[in-house]
Chains A and B, each alone.
Chain A
Amino acid sequence: MVKKTAVGTLLLIVMVSMVWAGGQGEESGEAEKVELSVLWFDDANESEVFLETMADYREANPNVSFDMQVIPFSDYEKKLKLMIAGGTPPDIARVTNNHVSMLYDSLQPLNGNIENLDEFASNFFESSLAFATNPAGELVALPTEATANGMLVNKTAFKSVGIDIDELSKTWTWEDWFDAMKKVVAENEKVKYGIGYDFSPHRWSTLLFEAGGRFLNEDADGMNFNTPEAVDALKFFKRLHSEELAPHSVWMGSEKPQEMFKSGLVACHIGGSWWINAYAKDITNFEWGAVRMPKRKIRSSVPGGKFIATFKGADNKEAAYDVIKTFSDKKHNEQYCRDTFNLSSRKDADIDYPSRGKDFAVFGEDLSVTPAYTAIDWKSPELNKIYSYIREQIVEGLLENQTMEEAAENIHTKGNTFFE
């Protein structure tokens, strides 16, 4: 009786272990074939375009295959860290400038591994290269797309009250913007709000830099945020809300500015160059476009970008170097950026976008007057660690649970704890 039960349970355990052993994963038998694990995240169709762009490479190198692993963006960083901490990083990964600064120690330096790296790298924008350079001065990733913050406007809404936004924006300041915006909101029934900022410190920092402030000090080894410029930028942001030009439901709720922009409720959207793609597809009932950022003390955008990299612990680094270099050359980079509707990070890129070429040019123009320290600030790992904290502090200020001076002080202090 007991034996029966014992045998029964034993059988169960054996069955389970056999079945478990069956899932040991497959070994590839042939030595020359290389399967590269490629980690990617999509915003629209980036992983697909990567494969299309590299189709000629695969034809020329039939022994190389790509195992595309597409991960949702909100979990991308976790997945990367998980794989690295577990000792199995991917061979190739698409990374943002945030990721690069977080993973300096795990990314494989390309110096010495890619031929003529210096010459090759000189084709890229300074700010893009700055993001991809680790504290030891080595290049740990190659830039793919460059992104810039900027203003997208509902041209039809401005036209309806007699404002030619293209003309006005050529030389405008924020005070000009206030005047124009108040007119539109007052006279155009559909438009309820003037401006929406993405719920992101990176987007908000456009105001910081334009006010002449920044996050870090000169040597980038500590915070410099409790300055009059920072407080000024914070208060300006508050002013946008208290004068009802910015909707409360974005920074103090969870509505998305792009959805409000698409529905015509918000006339301007401070977002980034990546929106050109989405808006081109989704907006059909009004005219829109990119315009220059209004000037405050200075005119500035905030750079960012995407990169392609390999890792120190990756299995197939050699094959990876070749793929990375090919992907980043003029021909492939142009094709990729054109088909994903992104700004290229190559200075010599000459892309014939199927549409909206003018908008890209505007963003590029804003980028060209952006000071280099904007990139230096945003590439610091310490700043990236307090990303959510900054956002929370700004909201506390908007909610009037604290003054903006206190918000600046808190952010300054918290950031410094990571520099110690």
Chain B
Amino acid sequence: MHLDGILLLQQLINGISKGSLYALIALGYTMVYGIIELINFAHGDVFMLGSFTAVTLVGLFGITNSPLTDPLAIIGVLTATFLITMTATGLLGVVIERVAYRPLRNAPKLAPLISAIGVSYILQNVGSAWKGPATINFPKIFPDTQYILFSNGSSDVRVRTTTLLVLASSLILMVALTLFVQRTKLGKAMRATAMDRETAQLMGIGVNFTIGLTFFIGAALAGGGGLLYGLLIGGVQFQIGFQAGLRAFTAAVLGGIGNIPGAMLGGFLIGMVEAMSDNFLDARWTQAVVFGVLILILVFRPSGLLGQRVAEKV
């Protein structure tokens, strides 16, 4: 098979748009891991519930089959859906932390991880009880035009409005997060808590509040990701969280877990690995390819691409 430049470019675009979603979810994994060294297994399912919240809201706004045409209405609906979904999942994240993880903060390390697996199953069941087991259609909020970027006569590279929106919104969210973590006092508190919880507490930082905030932000980003996923894929189902969550986790590890720019980079890379594997290998092998990547990174470079090599705390 000769390498088709057009096809490659098209897959690159697909990969980047899917990857930006993984990046959004990966941020939640990486932030939580950075601050309490917990693989928040339930994070993918928070993302799934985010997409369910979004599809419910869009239905409540009265959008069923025909997309809106009025630009103001589109912006209004999108903003409202974003804000409500992100707040809802953010609060869910805080509740999960409060109920299932905080009491285990000083327990043996595997206890919160097992608890997180339990929460993941509970959330999946909530999802399937809420919307049923079948894939539900995610209505188009705006007309999805396809733009042709390049063309060589026989085939062309296309980009959809949705892809652009997904890219733009995830980039905005990531920039906002970076600014928050780097420039604000709360962000500084988060970094301090991640660095050394006890010292941070001695410096007067409310550690519990800061950890709760981290969960809120991580879960809110996953919720936003859920909405964008619905728009991009066009359908949501209660098991999407497991798959997407694992890929996002792989992305977080690839970038270097605990490292925020690393999670973004990892997300884009995993999105591209997935698109390339879907297209050039076969979609049925993608799962194995992604996990193969995960295992290889963990074995050969557990610190990830951007992470620093840190000795395990004894």
Tell me if chain B binds chain A: no
Name A residues whose Cβ lies closer than 8 Å to a Cβ of B: none
Name B residues whose Cβ lies closer than 8 Å to a Cβ of A: none
